[in-house]
Amino acid sequence: MRQIDHFISGGAGTSPVRFGDIMDPNNGGVQARVALGDAAVLERAVQAALAAQPAWATTNPQRRARVMFEFKRLVEANMDELAHMLSAEHGKVIADSKGDIQRGLEVIEFCCGIPHVMKGEYSQGAGPGIDVYSIRQPMGIGAGITPFNFPAMIPLWMSGPAIATGNAFIIKPSERDPSVPVRLAELFIEAGLPEGICQVVHGDKEMVDAILDHPAISAVSFVGSSDIAHYVYHRGVASGKRVQAMGGAKNHGIVMPDADLDQVVNDLTGAAFGSAGERCMALPVVVPVGDDTAERLKAKLIPAIEALRVGVSTDAEAHYGPVVTAQHKAKVEGWIQTCVDEGGELIIDGRGFKLQGHEEGYFIGPTLFDHVTTDMESYKEEIFGPVLQMVRAASFEEALALPSKHQYGNGVAIFTRNGHAAREFVSRVNVGMVGINVPIPVPVAYHSFGGWKRSGFGDTDQYGMEGIKFWTKVKKITQRWPDGSPDAGNAFIIPTMG
């Protein structure tokens, strides 16, 4: 059986003692096993990073950029291999896997400009003969703890800025689909990155805790559920680390009465059900404003949802594939039943979906609820599956309040032709990322990604200039070159620039 090992100092790790099963979501069988590491495994990676990072930090940024350029070329050349590898373990369809890789690669493209974004600031003549300037330096060793739902994009979001700025970087991917991060680390070496600068260690909570506690790791980036994000943030900070921890989401799509409903339905079906709803930027809640809007929207949604094709990850005609594990399938179906029990009107029930020839696969059909209310637990919590809940609002103000008051504040979208309504919504909504007629408002790579409230812990976002800020520390220098005429009388007075 295929075995996924750690990737330490440019090669496979050794002596694994624990393993986890990697399932095939399309048929329910075990397709591989992954080594689960511990503090000893992490220590080997840290020692390799400590040996390699000082020289990488002093490599000029233009040469580091050249590695990024070559890495980008190699990922593009191996796109088909990576996409099939990703789909085989995650279950998302091939086209979606390629999108996963491409969105991560766009961050690498941004990192190709690292010589520019690493420039500091300079003030000549800040005082008599005094210049003040600042420089950005790497943190040292960083680590990324990444989720199962984007096994290429999120490791690239983290590793690109961390490595380009001169850090060594250790990835701890999800043990459910770990192959792509290992292959990406191999491609980094092939692109010219020194051994020890990008490494991959596998594991469960034992490895996570080892990362959070290790004194040589200066910064940790995490994406996952909010409860774990909260844990990672507080334990990491308590260990003296810089931590950014992105959590869960319950993104809302506000549909105003003047919205183009045909476009809304097209956007909603993709945003709610694409990748089987396993996205933190999915749109699982739709909020039509007014009952007339709700009825017109529902009449168009039902046939569109019923026409969705669920298939294996290699089915080019499928809109989405299976969820990642049997346990996750059971969890999502449990939330569907909870919503029924709470009084939600089940319009389309995706439970019990069976794909011929793949009856043991982890498939869930698309599910639609109407008349969901804010007191329902199924509304309050993240379902993370192909389930769309309709929450009706009587007015713009009521619709605005729903995402603003929700515990999560990752993303939100408003669909309207009214520029004033959109502008008012953007100004007032208490959510970190907003789309106007854009259902999945993930910012481009030269901006930054991050939510508010329980969707994000820490004060910096992913990638873009926020990513550069996170993976570097600023050193401030005040310099003077004496002219041979010391002013001894002022030596004991606090310096001023007057």
Residues known to be catalytic: 280
Written in H, E and C, the secondary structure of 71-128 is HHHHHHHCHHHHHHHHHHHHCCCHHHHHHHHHHHHHHHHHHCCHHHHCCCCEEEEEEC
How many other β-carbons are positioned within 10 Å of the β-carbon of residue 59? 14
Task: With CA atoms as reference, report the closest residue to 462 among 17, 142, 47.
Answer: 142
The span from the CA of 131 to the CA of 120, in Å, is: 13
Look up residue 50 and give its two tokens. 């400590």
In the numeric block, the tokens 């339905």 are attached to: 265
Collapsing DSSP states into helix, strand and coil, what is residue 48? helix
The order of strands in the sheet holding 472-480 is: 122-127, 130-138, 472-480
Start-to-end C-alpha separation, the chain: 73
Helix (H, G, I), strand (E, B) or coil at 222: strand
Measured between alpha carbons, how far is residue 29 from residues 8, 24, 239, 372 in Å? 29, 5, 40, 36
Give, in order, the Cα–Cα distances in Å from 140 to each of 147, 246, 360, 396. 23, 22, 46, 48
* Two tokens, residue 173: 């991917």
**149, 177 in Cβ contact below 8 A?**
no
Q: Is 315 helix (H, G, I), strand (E, B) or coil?
A: coil
